[in-house]
Each structure stands twice: as structure tokens, then as C-alpha cells.
Amino acid sequence: MTSLSGRLSSTAQFLIVVAVVVECLVFALLSPSFLTVNNFVNVALQIAIYGILAVGMTMVIITGGIDLSIGSIVALSGVVAAGLLEKMTRQPSLGTLLAILTGVGIGMLSGGFSGLMITRLRVPPFIVTLALMTVCRGLAFIFTGGFSIGNLPLSFGFLGRGHLGPIPIPVAMMALVFLGGYLLLSKSARGRYIYAIGGNEEASRLSGIDTRRVIQQVYLFNGALAGLAGITLASRLGAGVPNSGLNYELDVIAAVVVGGTSLMGGSGSVAGTFWGTVFIGILNNGLNLANVDPYTQKVALGVVILLAVLLDKMKKT
């Protein structure tokens, strides 16, 4: 069993890449429109928001935590940014800058609150972020009165619908976030602390790591990315929608787990999360093109998550 565990651990990255390739081949056979440039661009745009969120979630889960609030933070950040833009129609460029800063700031405030509750008051991450998920969603509906905020300036639309050459802005942002996350986790002392805390928080504290500060920073960073994702989504939709981001946390956690990050903490990688995000994105896209009903799609996603968790258990045996 030990040798099997070693083989599974050493080939985890290879397996997810192979799974993506097999997935593409299957859907190419099921739908002639799957292997087209337009469809791959569509998939990239679909996973851009999830990818931005998944980088922060990877770090949270590696520390042994969880964050169920990111979908609601996406909504709250988006509607507040849209509301600010609506009030600054005479200065659209300045309004866009302030909206972006405000959206990211709301995300950081939310993430910072979760981090403080978890580290200072020792409230379990599941409970804190579950409560924050409800609070942020409620605030989004209170702020908008239950209606979307539209008529946003064109300068704001560039963030979600613009291009850098042939590359959509959200995809470029996702790539930069993945690169930053990779460098932080793999090439910095802070990244080593994150892994150490997930492996054994008490041992990390005794070795001199300021575990509270590191965990707070992880949740702060995760919140900032949720805020960034929120304003990007609002820009892409052309409106602040209080119901946006609904259940995003489930798909993001699925992508992180499928990418090989252990829910027990201490192991995982941004590279694995990237491939997990691609896998989930292609799965949803391919099933849609194959005219599979949404309920069956949920079943398929649940089976994939379960298999990923079982694989993680086998690696640790």
C-alpha cells in the first residue's frame, strides 16, 4: 500500500493532465463544435473567474482551512462597485478606478474578518465563512434592493470584455494571478510557512512561525482575489447583480480538490489547481455541448469530486 501511495503522489500532476486530454477526446467525439477556436476561447473565459478564485482557495485549503464565502463576496464587491460607478457618471475614468479599488477593498475586508475570527477567536473556518457567506449575500441584496445595477460606463466594461491583442482581459488576469500564486507558494519563505502550517500548525508555531499572521494573510489574499473576481464579473455582465457568484465556492473547491490539493491541508499546488480548473471548465462545457441536462451535470461533478477525495486518501495511506 505504501508503494501505491508513493506512485499516486508522484504522478498526481501527470494524471490530471492525462484526464484533461482524455476529456477533450471524448467531447470531441460527442460534439463536432467542441474542437473549435471559438469554443476554447469560450472555455477560457468561463474558467477565468473560477481560476482567479481558485488560487486563493488553494492557499486557504493548504493551511487546513476552507472558505465558503467567496461567491457572496463576488456578488457584494460587484454590486458596490457598480453602485459607485452609477453615482460617478460624469467622471467615468475616475469612477472605474475607484470601483476597482473599492471592490478589491471589500474583498480584503471580508477576508481579513474571516482571518481574525479564525486566528484570534478560534472559530472553525467552516462556521466563520458560512456565516460570512450569508451576511455578504444579504448585504448585496440590501444594497441593490434586489435589482441589478446597470448602465455602467464603457471604460469599466473593458475589464471584463476587453482584449490585450487576441487575449481576453479576464484570461490575462487569471494567468497573472496563477503566476503570482505559483511564485508565492513555490519560491518564497511565506509559501513554505503555508505548507508547514497545513502539515502541523502547532509544530509550526513552536518552530518560530507566526502562524496567526500567516493564516490572516492567506485569508486576506483570498478575499482580495474574490473582490477582483467580483468586479471582473460585474464588468463582463455589464451590471452589478446581487445573485451573481451563486455556488461559485463549490465549483472552486471542486477545481482545487481535483487539482490535487488535500482537504486535510499541507499539500497541493497552484499548477495542479490550474489543471483542475481546466478540467472542471471543460467538463461543464462539454456536457453542455452534448446536451446533457443540468441535473446530470451536477451528478457528474459530484462523482468527480468524490473520486478526487478518494485518490487523496489513497495517497495518504
Q: Residue 240 has what DSSP assignment?
A: B
> Which residues on adjacent β-strands are paired with residue 168?
163
More confident residue, 137 or 153: 137
pTM metric for this prediction: 0.93
| CA atoms of 280 and 20, how far apart (whole Å) | 9
Amino acid 5: pLDDT: 38
Amino acid 160: pLDDT: 93
Nearest of 272, 191, 282 to residue 11 by alpha carbon? 272
Amino acid 308: pLDDT: 81
- Dihedral of CA atoms 262, 263, 265, 271 in degrees, nearest 10, equals 40
List the chain domain ranges.
48-268
> CB-based contacts of 147: which residues, under 8 Å, 6+ apart?
242
Average pLDDT, the chain: 91
- pLDDT mean over 156-177: 94
| Burial track 227-240 (b if 16+ CB lie within 10 A, e otherwise) | bbbbbbbbbbbbbb
DSSP 31-60: -TTSSSHHHHHHHHHHHHHHHHHHHHHHHH
pLDDT exceeds 60 at position 82? yes
- 180, containing H or E segment: helix 169-187
| CA atoms of 166 and 44, how far apart (whole Å) | 12
pLDDT exceeds 50 at position 8? no
Give the model confidence (pLDDT) of 259-300 as tens digits. 989 999 998 999 999 999 999 999 999 999 999 898 898 898
- pLDDT mean over 165-183: 96
E strand intervals along the chain: 163-164, 167-168
Residue 11's pLDDT band, with cuts at 50, 70 and 90, is low
For CA atoms 267, 271, 274, 280, give the dihedral sign. negative
- pLDDT mean over 42-51: 95
Asked whether 54 and 117 are in contact (CB, 8 A), the reply is: no
Q: Quick one: 87 exposed, middle or buried, by C-beta within 10 A (0-12, 13-18, 19+)?
A: exposed
Residue 306's pLDDT band, with cuts at 50, 70 and 90, is confident
> CB-based contacts of 150: which residues, under 8 Å, 6+ apart?
82, 238, 239, 240
> CB-based contacts of 38: which residues, under 8 Å, 6+ apart?
none
- Lowest average pLDDT, out of 112-121, 173-182, 252-261, goes to 252-261
Helices 270-289, 169-187: crossing angle, 10 deg rounding: 150
